[in-house]
Amino acid sequence: MNCTWQAGRNAPEDTQYFLYWQYSRYDDAKECELYIKDETGRNMGCRFENVTTKPENAYFLVNGSSKESQIQFYDEYIQLYKIEKLTPPSNITVSCDEIKHDCLIQWQRPQISHSNKDSCFKYEIIIKYKVRGISSPIFNINIHIFQRSNKRKKYLLKMRTAGSACYVSSAWGEWSAPVNFGK
């Protein structure tokens, strides 16, 4: 998980920031272990490793210190699953049947810490050949049959994922690397 912030407009140059977070008020607060620094050495972000997303709100606090003046803190409760950026589907394969003119597209869902159900995701597929593109509808399963209009053409396929339930972000993730298929 990456978190970033900006220095306050009137923050003195010696201001340093520290980030703390916790899943609930009963958990111990954790300070950032790996700060992202700007060119002056000021903490402007944090990288957390191995974060598990839970449906509950997580509490974040950015605290600042300066010898010149008091610094206003910033805190917020965030449902992490709502801001999670999903990775593209993986292991995308395309198998074409030369007689039936159809191609079977299969993939694996993104790996997230809080769900292992295929039904939690929806997928969008774009298939292009030459200049024209075919935008497929959205699928809730990880298999799709594409009817080729011309089996002599070379096609390019890209996919992306969004959540459809199960405390998974409904925002579309990044597109996959292109997959070529056909002749």
How many structural domains comprise the chain? 2
Residues 116, 177: one domain? yes
| Co-location of 110 and 77 in the same domain | no
When computed from its CA atoms, the radius of gyration of the chain, rounded to whole angstroms, is 23
Statement to judge: residues 119 and 146 lie in one domain: yes
pLDDT at 36 over 80: yes
Taking CA atoms, 110 is separated from 120, 158, 172, in Å, by 10, 15, 12
Query: Which pLDDT tens digit goes with each residue over 5-20?
Result: 988 888 898 999 999 9
Last residue of one domain, picked from the residues 82, 99, 131: 82
What is the CATH number for 148? 2.60.40.10
Q: What is the pLDDT of residues 118-176, one digit of tens each?
A: 888 899 998 887 545 555 555 556 667 776 666 667 888 999 999 887 888 888 999 99
User: With the CA atoms of 107, 108, 109 and 110 taken in that order, what torsion angle do they form, in degrees rounded to the nearest 10?
Assistant: -110
167 shares its domain with 101: yes
pLDDT value of residue 174: 92
> Could you tell me the pTM of the whole model?
0.68
Mind listing the pLDDT tens digit for each residue in 46-60?
Answer: 998 877 777 778 899
> Cα–Cα distance between 84 and 133 in angstroms, integer?
29
What integer pLDDT is reported at residue 47 of this predicted model?
92
Range of the domain at 67: 2-82
